[in-house]
Amino acid sequence: MAAISEVQWARIYACIWSDPTLQQAFEVDPKKAIFPLRTTFQIDPNDTLMDLSYNYDPVWKLLKDPARTDTELKEVITSGKLNGKEVRLSASVFTTPDGSSIPLPQDADPNAISIANWTRIYAYIAYQETINGNPYCRALFESDPAKCTQLIVTDLKKPPYSVTITYTKLLNLGAPPNIPLPDTLKAIRNGADIKNSRYMPNFCT
């Protein structure tokens, strides 16, 4: 079992941005929304949406470090700080065929989970794996982020965290990016010379 590749994700995102209805569905539940696209983009039904081992975000690397303590990870979950300093995951970035990087506007929509709250969620995943020795939380998040996030948010409301995260959708992809010709979203979606177009989700896309 593998994760959806960067090139496959680039094609998927191009497809999503080309269809407002699909984009709305994807922002709420990525797994459910892209299931019908698996054949089109040659995705094995057993592949996960993402692989958190691949994510090189510096804050995620800090959070999943085996040296992180119970106290440190709980501090991130409850206050958004690590050893007294604010920590935040980076915004997801879509790389176009010409090498330009387009950050996704996650914090621009109050209905989507903010980057600060995604940092708390990622700290919770690290806590379960590193402190509790439970890989199931991470595995579920990689395969079904909407379901896992709902379970995490429910647990975070309880002590010792007592953190409330409200949302109606996981993500905010924003308006379709303006990609110069000939590398249009349609070309990327159709797989035409997209070797330099790539996207690997930072969160759950």
The predicted-structure confidence for 49-75, as pLDDT tens digits, reads as follows 988 887 778 999 999 999 999 999 999
Question: At 88, which helix (H) or strand (E)?
Answer: none
In a domain, 179, yes or no: yes
Are 166 and 120 in contact by the 8 Å Cβ rule? The answer is: no
Confidence of residue 194 (pLDDT cuts 50, 70, 90): low
Confidence of residue 192 (pLDDT cuts 50, 70, 90): low
pLDDT of residue 114: 94
Instruction: Give 104-159 pLDDT, tens digit per residue.
Output: 888 999 999 999 999 999 999 999 999 999 999 999 999 999 999 999 999 999 99
DSSP 8-state code for residue 169: B
In a domain, 147, yes or no: yes
DSSP-based three-state secondary structure for 137: helix
Are 80 and 87 in contact by the 8 Å Cβ rule? The answer is: yes
- CA–CA dist 52, 29 (Å, integer): 18
**Helical axes 20-28 vs 6-17, angle rounded to 10°:** 120
Q: Which of 107, 113, 60, 55 is nearest to 88 (CA)?
A: 60
Instruction: Give 102-114 pLDDT, tens digit per residue.
Output: 788 889 999 999 9
Residues 6+ apart with CB under 8 A from 119: 59, 63, 76, 80, 87, 88, 89
pLDDT of residue 152: 98
Cβ atoms < 10 Å from Cβ of 53: 10
pLDDT surpasses 80 at 182: no
Rg of the chain over all Cα atoms, to the nearest angstrom: 17
Question: At 52, which helix (H) or strand (E)?
Answer: none
pLDDT of residue 29: 96
- CA–CA dist 161, 157 (Å, integer): 7
Q: H helices then E strands: how many in the chain? A: 9, 4
In a domain, 31, yes or no: yes
Range of the domain at 147: 6-189
Q: How many domains does the chain have?
A: 1
In a domain, 30, yes or no: yes
In DSSP terms, 82 is beta-bridged to: 85
In a domain, 199, yes or no: no
Are 189 and 18 in contact by the 8 Å Cβ rule? The answer is: yes
- CA–CA dist 12, 205 (Å, integer): 10
DSSP 8-state code for residue 94: E
In a domain, 205, yes or no: no
pLDDT of residue 103: 80
What percentage of the chain reaches a pLDDT higher than 70?
Answer: 90
In a domain, 200, yes or no: no
In a domain, 197, yes or no: no
